[in-house]
C-alpha cells in the first residue's frame, strides 16, 4: 500500500528521542510545536495523521525512549501504514530501526529546520542508519512546513510518488585527472595501510544508537584496519590510577597556554576544578591504554555508561586530536607517549570518522599540511545575517571539543564551559572557540549498499562578526565549538539530501591549492583501498 491509495488512510507519526529523560523533557516543547505544524501541512493536503504512540504525562514527553519501547510500539502498528518519523531533537536511531526494518509501508523522515536542538543532526543519523540497513525511505526538512518546496514534495510522497531531491552535485571520483603528487601520496598511504595495518581502539562500540557509525569488520579489515575492542570500565579504572600530581601538570599546561575555564562551585550546574582534574586524568589514562594496545586512533563513546562515572570526555578528545598538547609519559616515566603528534580520536566512537581521521592524519602529514582533524555535527545552516557574505553558512558544531589548533590563536582562544546538565550530569569542560578562517577539506565515510563509501568536498571556514557568531551560538548550543563553513558547490538542500551521517570530518590546508591536493590524495587513498568515492560540488 502507498499513501495515495486512499486519502482516508491515516498517516502514522512516530518520534524517537534520547535515552536521557532530562533531554526528552527539556526538548519536548519543540517537538510538540513541530508536530503541530507538520500535521497541519499533511491535513491541508487532504490526509489525516494519527500518532503511533502517545504523550506520557508521567514522563513529561511523547518520545520513544528505548529500543524495547520502539519494538513494542511497532508491534501495535499496521506494517503497511504510511509512516512519518518526525524529529526536532537529537534521537537514538536504534529506538526505531528494529521496527523500521520490518515495516513495509512508505517511510518519510522529517525534521524542522532549527538549530535549537540537534533535530537535523538526529534526522541525518537516522537517514544514514536507514541507508546502511538498506531500508528505503524518503526525507524532508522545513523551517515553516508551509513553503512550496516542502509542500510539493510532501504531496508527492502522499501521492505515492516519492520525494525528489537534486543530488547532481555528487559525481564519481575519477583518479585519471589527479596530479602526480596527490596520486603518489594517496596510493602509498593505501599500500602502507594494507601492508602494515592499523588499529582503531574502540571504547565500547555503538554510541547513542548510531547504527551508521559502526563499520562491520568484514568491510573494515580488507583495508588493513582492525578494531581493538576496549572497555570504558578499563578507562575508568586507569583514570583512577593516575596521580594528583600528573593530573595537575596537565591542568597547569592548559592554564599556561591561556585556556580560560569558566568555573564555579556547584557540581550540578557549574564547571568545577575537580571535574577538570578528572578530565586531565582521563586524558592520561586514554593515552596509556592506547599505548598498551598499540592503537593508531581511539574513540571513547562516553555518552552511555561513562556519563554517570566521569565528567565529559570532550576536553580529553580535543587534547588528543592536537599535536600541541600536554605531554603524557608512560606509567614508569621512561617514554613520552605519541610525542609531538595527535592520537586521532573519533568522538562518540563513530568508526566511520575514525577511519577518515586515520587517513586524513596520514595524508596531511605526508603533504606537510596541518594534521589536526575532527568531526563536527552538521547542526544547522542559515544565511549570514551580518551581510558579510551572500552564502548560506553552515553551523558546524560538535558536542564539546575540537583540536585547539583549529582556533586562530590555538589554546589561547579556547574557553572551557560546563557541559549542559541535561546531556551531561557529571559536568566537564568543553573546548569552545571559533574555527579560524581558512581552506578546508570535508569528508565522510559511510556504509551503503553493503560497501564502504566516501564523499569529499571543499569548504571555506569564514570569519563572521562576533554578533553573528553569538546569534548562531544562541540559536544552537553556546557552550560548544563552532565553524562557520561555506561549502563549495553544494547547496543546503543538496547536502541534506545526500549526506549519510550526522557527522562531517574537517581538516585545514595551508592554501586553496593545498586543500585541493589534500582532498584528491585522500580520494585516491580511499579508492585504492576499495571504497566507492564521490566528489561533491567540486571536480
Ligand atoms: C549531547 C548530544 O547528545 C550530542 O552528542 C549530539 O547532539 C551529537 O553530537 C550527535 O552527533
Distance 90 CA to ligand 1 centre (A): 7
Which residue, judged by its Cα, is nearest atom 8 of ligand 1?
A: 399
Rounded Cα gap, residues 199 and 290, in angstroms: 10
Instruction: List the chain domain ranges.
Output: 3-158, 175-536
Residue pair 271/323 in contact (Cβ under 8 Å)? The answer is no
Nearest to 170 by CA among 461, 473, 456: 456
pLDDT at 6: 56
Rounded Cα gap, residues 8 and 18, in angstroms: 32
Task: Give the count of beta carbons closer than 10 Å to the beta carbon of residue 425.
Answer: 15
Distance 299 CA to ligand 1 centre (A): 15
Which residue, judged by its Cα, is nearest atom 4 of ligand 1?
A: 399
197 φψ region: left (φ > 0), alpha (ψ -120 to 50), beta (else): left
Residue pair 18/24 in contact (Cβ under 8 Å)? The answer is yes
Binding site membership of 346 for ligand 1 (Cβ less than 6 Å): no
Signed CA dihedral, 412, 335, 359, 236: sign only? negative
Rounded Cα gap, residues 352 and 149, in angstroms: 32
Residue pair 426/309 in contact (Cβ under 8 Å)? The answer is yes
| 416 three-state secondary structure | strand
Distance 253 CA to ligand 1 centre (A): 28
Distance 528 CA to ligand 1 centre (A): 32
- Helix axis angle, 94-101 to 67-75, nearest 10°: 30
> Which of 125, 208, 420 to mutate to test ligand 1, by most ligand atoms within 8 A of the CB atom?
208
**Looking at ligand 1, which atom is closest to the CA of residue 379?**
7
pLDDT at 1: 44
What does the pLDDT profile of the chain (539 residues) look like in tens digits?
454 545 678 999 999 999 999 999 999 999 999 999 999 999 999 999 999 999 999 999 999 999 999 999 999 999 999 999 999 999 999 999 999 999 999 999 999 999 999 999 999 999 999 999 999 999 999 999 999 999 999 999 999 999 999 999 999 999 998 999 999 999 999 999 999 999 999 999 999 999 999 999 999 999 999 999 999 999 999 999 999 999 999 999 999 999 999 999 999 999 999 999 999 999 999 999 999 999 999 999 999 899 999 999 999 999 999 999 999 999 999 999 999 999 999 999 999 999 999 999 999 999 999 999 999 999 999 999 999 999 999 999 999 999 999 999 999 999 999 999 999 999 999 999 999 999 999 999 999 999 999 999 999 999 999 999 999 999 999 999 999 999 999 999 999 999 999 999 999 999 999 999 999 999 999 999 999 999 999 99
Q: How far is CA 17 from CA 26, 85, 123, 348, 435, in A?
A: 11, 11, 11, 17, 30
- Which fold would CATH assign to domain 175-536? L-fucose Isomerase; Chain A, domain 3 (3.20.14)
Residue pair 399/314 in contact (Cβ under 8 Å)? The answer is yes
Rounded Cα gap, residues 431 and 401, in angstroms: 5
Q: Which residues pair with 533 in a beta bridge?
A: 454
Nearest to 395 by CA among 312, 322, 495: 495
The separation between CA 19 and the C-alpha centre of its own chain, rounded to angstroms, equals 17
Rounded Cα gap, residues 518 and 373, in angstroms: 13
Helices (H) and strands (E) in the chain, counts: 15, 18
Residue by residue, DSSP assigns 129-194 as HHHHHT---EEEEESSS-SHHHHHHHHHHHTTS------TTEEE--GGG--HHHHHHHHHHHHHHH
> Which of 209, 418, 423 to mutate to test ligand 1, by most ligand atoms within 8 A of the CB atom?
423
Q: How far is CA 152 from CA 42, 81, 146, in A?
A: 11, 21, 10
Q: How far is CA 192 from CA 11, 176, 224, 481, 511, in A?
A: 53, 21, 9, 34, 27
Binding site membership of 442 for ligand 1 (Cβ less than 6 Å): no
Binding site membership of 118 for ligand 1 (Cβ less than 6 Å): yes
Binding site membership of 508 for ligand 1 (Cβ less than 6 Å): no
Distance 322 CA to ligand 1 centre (A): 21
Rounded Cα gap, residues 310 and 128, in angstroms: 30
Binding site membership of 150 for ligand 1 (Cβ less than 6 Å): no
pLDDT at 9: 85
Parallel, antiparallel, or unpaired for β 138-142 and 107-112?
parallel
DSSP element (H, E) containing 363: helix 351-367
- Which fold would CATH assign to domain 3-158? Rossmann fold (3.40.50)
Binding site membership of 502 for ligand 1 (Cβ less than 6 Å): yes
> Which of 22, 301, 399 to mutate to test ligand 1, by most ligand atoms within 8 A of the CB atom?
399
> Which of 92, 377, 398, 401 to mutate to test ligand 1, by most ligand atoms within 8 A of the CB atom?
377
Residue pair 457/170 in contact (Cβ under 8 Å)? The answer is no
Binding site membership of 423 for ligand 1 (Cβ less than 6 Å): yes
| 429 three-state secondary structure | strand
Q: Which residues pair with 121 in a beta bridge?
A: none
Binding site membership of 90 for ligand 1 (Cβ less than 6 Å): yes
- In the sheet that holds 225-230, the strands lie side by side as 225-230, 198-203, 297-300
pLDDT at 434: 98
> Which of 121, 127, 347, 398 to mutate to test ligand 1, by most ligand atoms within 8 A of the CB atom?
121
Supply 48's cell numbers: 489525516
Rounded Cα gap, residues 464 and 383, in angstroms: 12
Supply 23's cell numbers: 533531554
Amino acid at each position: 500500500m502507498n499513501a495515495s491509495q486512499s486519502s482516508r488512510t491515516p498517516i502514522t507519526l512516530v518520534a524517537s528521542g534520547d535515552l536521557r529523560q532530562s533531554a526528552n523533557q527539556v526538548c519536548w516543547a519543540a517537538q510538540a510545536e513541530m508536530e503541530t505544524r507538520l500535521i497541519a501541512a499533511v491535513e491541508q493536503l487532504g490526509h489525516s495523521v494519527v500518532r503511533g504512540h502517545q504523550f506520557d504525562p508521567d514522563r513529561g514527553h511523547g518520545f520513544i525512549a528505548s529500543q524495547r519501547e520502539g519494538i513494542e510500539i511497532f508491534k501495535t502498528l499496521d506494517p503497511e501504514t504510511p509512516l512519518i518519523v518526525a524529529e526536532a531533537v537529537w534521537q537514538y536511531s536504534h529506538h526505531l530501526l528494529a521496527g523500521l526494518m520490518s515495516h513495509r509501508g512508505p517511510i518519510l523522515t522529517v525534521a524542522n529546520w532549527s538549530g535549537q536542538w540537534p533535530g537535523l543532526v538526529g534526522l541525518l543519523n537516522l537517514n544514514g542508519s536507514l541507508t546502511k540497513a538498506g531500508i528505503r525511505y524518503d526525507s524532508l526538512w522545513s523551517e515553516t512546513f508551509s513553503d512550496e518546496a516542502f509542500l510539493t514534495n510532501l504531496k508527492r510522497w502522499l501521492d505515492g510518488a516519492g520525494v525528489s531531491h537534486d543530488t547532481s552535485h555528487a559525481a564519481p571520483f575519477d583518479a585519471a585527472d589527479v596530479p602526480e603528487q596527490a596520486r603518489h601520496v594517496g596510493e602509498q598511504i593505501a599500500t602502507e595501510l594494507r601492508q602494515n595495518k592499523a588499529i582503531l581502539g574502540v571504547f565500547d562500540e555503538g554510541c547513542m544508537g548510531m547504527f551508521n557509525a559502526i563499520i562491520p569488520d568484514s568491510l573494515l579489515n580488507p583495508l588493513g584496519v582492525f578494531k581493538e575492542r576496549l572497555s570504558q570500565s578499563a578507562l575508568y579504572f586507569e583514570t583512577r590510577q593516575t596521580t594528583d600530581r600528573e593530573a595537575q601538570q596537565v591542568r597547569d599546561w592548559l592554564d599556561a597556554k591561556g585556556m580560560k575555564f569558566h568555573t564555579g562551585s556547584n557540581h550540578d550546574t557549574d564547571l568545577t576544578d575537580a571535574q577538570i582534574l578528572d578530565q586531565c586524568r582521563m586524558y592520561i589514562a586514554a593515552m596509556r591504554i592506547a599505548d598498551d594496545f598499540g592503537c593508531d586512533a581511539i574513540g571513547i563513546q562516553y555518552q552511555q555508561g561513562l556519563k554517570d562515572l566521569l565528567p565529559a570526555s570532550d576536553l580529553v578528545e580535543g587534547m588528543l586530536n592536537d599535536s600541541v598538547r600536554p605531554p603524557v609519559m608512560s606509567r614508569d616515566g621512561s617514554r613520552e607517549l605519541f610525542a609531538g603528534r595527535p592520537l586521532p580520536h573519533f568522538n562518540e566512537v563513530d568508526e566511520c570518522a575514525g577511519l577518515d581521521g586515520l587517513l586524513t592524519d596520514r595524508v596531511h602529514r605526508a603533504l606537510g599540511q596541518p594534521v589536526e582533524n575532527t568531526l563536527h555535527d552538521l547542526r544547522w545552516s542559515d544565511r549570514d545575517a551580518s551581510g558579510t557574505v551572500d552564502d548560506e553558512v553552515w553551523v558546524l558544531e560538535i558536542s564539546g571539543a575540537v583540536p585547539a589548533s583549529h582556533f586562530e590563536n590555538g589554546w589561547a582562544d579556547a574557553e572551557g564551559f560546563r557541559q549542559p546538565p541535561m546531556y551531561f550530569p557529571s559536568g566537564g569542560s568543553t573546548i569552545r572557540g571559533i574555527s579560524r578562517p581558512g581552506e578546508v577539506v570535508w569528508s565522510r565515510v559511510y556504509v551503503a549498499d553493503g560497501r564502504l563509501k566516501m564523499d569529499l568536498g571543499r569548504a571555506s571556514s569564514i570569519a563572521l562578526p562576533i554578533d553573528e557568531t553569538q546569534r548562531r551560538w544562541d540559536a544552537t548550543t553556546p557552550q560548544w565549538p563552532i565553524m562557520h563553513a561555506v561549502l563549495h558547490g553544494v547547496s543546503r538542500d543538496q547536502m541534506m539530501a545526500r549526506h549519510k551521517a550526522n557527522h562531517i570530518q574537517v581538516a585545514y590546508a595551508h592554501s586553496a591549492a593545498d586543500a585541493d591536493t589534500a582532498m584528491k590524495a585522500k580520494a585516491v587513498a580511499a579508492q585504492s583501498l576499495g571504497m566507492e568515492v564521490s566528489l561533491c560540488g567540486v571536480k
